[in-house]
């Protein structure tokens, strides 16, 4: 899906891979890899999803090599609880802009899992 959507948008806007790369802040070779359907890093997927106007989970799911349903589960969760989308978005932007160490987000997620498990054991 990523390569198709990207190619369509580039054609619609009359842009080359170099121009797209400049607009989103990545290299043209990364855009060429995406156009060939090769795997690109998460930071690029986030940039492309914003540029294409689609949710990152949509692009991630389309690139999944494994049977892991985590991106789909996250998308469903955000669909059911839209106020979480803002919080996740802030965390992602902070990581991409290197304003926060990803380990801090990992610590927060670990604490959330602990609290969830603690609550489940009390029921």
CA 36/CA 31 separation, integer angstroms: 9
The CATH number assigned to the domain holding 25 equals 1.10.260
Residue 73 in any domain: the answer is no
State the total domains in the chain: 2
Q: How do residues 79-88 score in pLDDT, each as one tens digit?
A: 777 788 888 8
CA 83/CA 23 separation, integer angstroms: 29
pLDDT at res. 32: 94
Q: How do residues 67-113 score in pLDDT, each as one tens digit?
A: 455 666 676 677 777 788 888 888 888 888 889 888 888 888 888 87
Q: In which domain, by residue range, is 50 found?
A: 2-63
Answer with the residue of higher pLDDT: 79 or 7.
Answer: 7
CA 91/CA 93 separation, integer angstroms: 6
Residues 7 and 54 in one domain: yes
Residues 12 and 58 in one domain: yes
pLDDT band at 17 (very low <50, low <70, confident <90, very high): very high
């Amino acid at each position: 899906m990523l390569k198709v959507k990207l190619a369509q948008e580039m054609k619609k806007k009359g842009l080359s891979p170099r121009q797209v790369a400049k607009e989103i802040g990545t290299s043209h070779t990364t855009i060429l890899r995406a156009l060939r359907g090769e795997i690109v890093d998460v930071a690029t997927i986030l940039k492309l999803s914003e540029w294409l106007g689609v949710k990152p989970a949509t692009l991630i799911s389309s690139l999944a090599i494994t049977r892991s349903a985590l991106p789909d589960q996250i998308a469903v969760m955000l669909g059911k609880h839209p106020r979480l989308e803002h919080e996740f978005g802030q965390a992602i932007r902070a990581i991409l802009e290197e304003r926060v160490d990803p380990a801090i987000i990992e610590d927060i997620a670990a604490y959330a899992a602990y609290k969830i498990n603690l609550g489940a054991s009390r029921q």
